């Protein structure tokens, strides 16, 4: 059996850190040299310093990019445009993984795509995340309501000063389906608005509250 297949037997997950890799290479006298060769041959891929995944030929299932987003910078969870697309609220497919974090805003370009992180204060970050899954992998992602609030808050082009502005912004600028807005959990959105303590997000919650039974263009 080849060396990489032996290593594959010792590492269960598709994504692993440096310490797990060193443990799998514990019988090598120079594990760092072995890691260099594994990288050069494409048997493993460095996502960022200290974080790796197996090359395509040795993966048992696709690598979850959402799970990667949680790992590349923490604490974080997927939100904003990517989460809105995931929940079916916007029609566009979003390739860039967008997340929120309590750390400073950062961007990472990796062999598995581009990952963007936007800062939220701890009280605003602490509400609205839920567990989702891709194959056997689970990851943290904003609920539809939290992703909406995060997007509205972070979009500096939209002032949200008047309640009447939200219809144009949500339906025309973001192209959200009105039925998707009506399906949002109003209690959860009010909880998010309470954590945000922002007039902009309170107006969003008020606008969604008024939608039930109201025809929208």
Q: Is residue 84 in a domain? A: yes
β-sheet bridge partners, residue 132: 139
Q: Is residue 216 in a domain? A: no
pLDDT for res 136:
86
Q: Are residues 13 and 75 in the same domain?
A: no
Q: Are residues 85 and 167 in the same domain?
A: yes
| % the chain with pLDDT above 90 | 90
Q: How many CB atoms lie within 10 A of CB 99?
A: 27
Q: Is residue 214 in a domain? A: no
Lowest mean pLDDT among 25-29, 188-192, 209-213: 209-213
pLDDT one-digit tens code per residue, 74-127: 999 999 999 999 999 999 889 999 999 999 999 999 999 999 999 999 999 999
| DSSP SS3 for 125 | helix
Q: Are residues 83 and 177 in the same domain?
A: yes
Q: How many domains does the chain have?
A: 2
pLDDT for res 1:
52
Q: Is residue 46 in a domain? A: yes
pLDDT at 216 over 50: no
- For the record, the structure tokens of 50 come out as 């200290």
Q: Are residues 12 and 110 in the same domain?
A: no
Question: What CATH number corresponds to the domain at position 49?
Answer: 1.10.10
pLDDT at 217 over 50: no
Q: Is residue 123 in a domain? A: yes
Q: Are residues 88 and 160 in the same domain?
A: yes
pLDDT at 214 over 70: no
Q: In degrees, to the nearest 5, what angle opens at C-alpha 120 toward C-alphas 14 and 77?
A: 20
Q: Is residue 110 in a domain? A: yes
Of 17, 58, 45, the C-alpha closest to 113 is 45
Are 193 and 209 contacting, i.e. CB atoms less than 8 angstroms apart?
Answer: no
pLDDT at 22 over 50: yes
Parent domain of 33: 3-58
pLDDT one-digit tens code per residue, 189-209: 999 999 999 999 999 999 999
Of 65, 66, 54, 42, the C-alpha closest to 13 is 54
pLDDT one-digit tens code per residue, 131-167: 999 888 999 999 999 999 999 999 999 999 999 999 9
| DSSP SS3 for 130 | strand
Q: Is residue 150 in a domain? A: yes
- For the record, the structure tokens of 21 come out as 């890799």
């Amino acid at each position: 059996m080849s060396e990489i297949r032996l290593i594959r037997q010792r590492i269960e997950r598709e994504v692993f850190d440096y310490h797990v890799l060193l443990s799998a290479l514990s019988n090598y006298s120079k594990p760092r040299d072995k890691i260099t060769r594994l990288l050069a041959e494409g048997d493993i891929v460095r996502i960022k310093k200290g974080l790796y995944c197996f090359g395509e030929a040795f993966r048992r299932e696709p690598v979850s990019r959402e799970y990667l987003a949680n790992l590349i910078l923490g604490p974080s969870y997927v939100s904003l445009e990517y989460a809105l697309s995931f929940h079916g609220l916007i029609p566009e497919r979003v390739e860039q993984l967008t997340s929120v974090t309590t750390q400073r805003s950062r961007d990472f370009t990796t062999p598995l795509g581009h990952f963007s992180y936007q800062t939220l204060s701890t009280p605003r970050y602490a509400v609205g995340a839920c567990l989702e899954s891709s194959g056997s992998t689970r990851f943290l992602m904003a609920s539809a309501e939290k992703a909406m609030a995060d997007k509205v808050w972070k979009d500096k082009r939209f002032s949200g000063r008047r309640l009447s502005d939200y219809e144009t912004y949500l339906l025309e600028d973001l192209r959200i389906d009105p039925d998707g807005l009506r399906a949002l959990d109003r209690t959860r959105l009010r909880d998010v608005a309470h954590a945000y303590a922002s007039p902009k997000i309170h107006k969003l919650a008020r606008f969604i509250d008024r939608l039930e039974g109201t025809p929208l263009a």
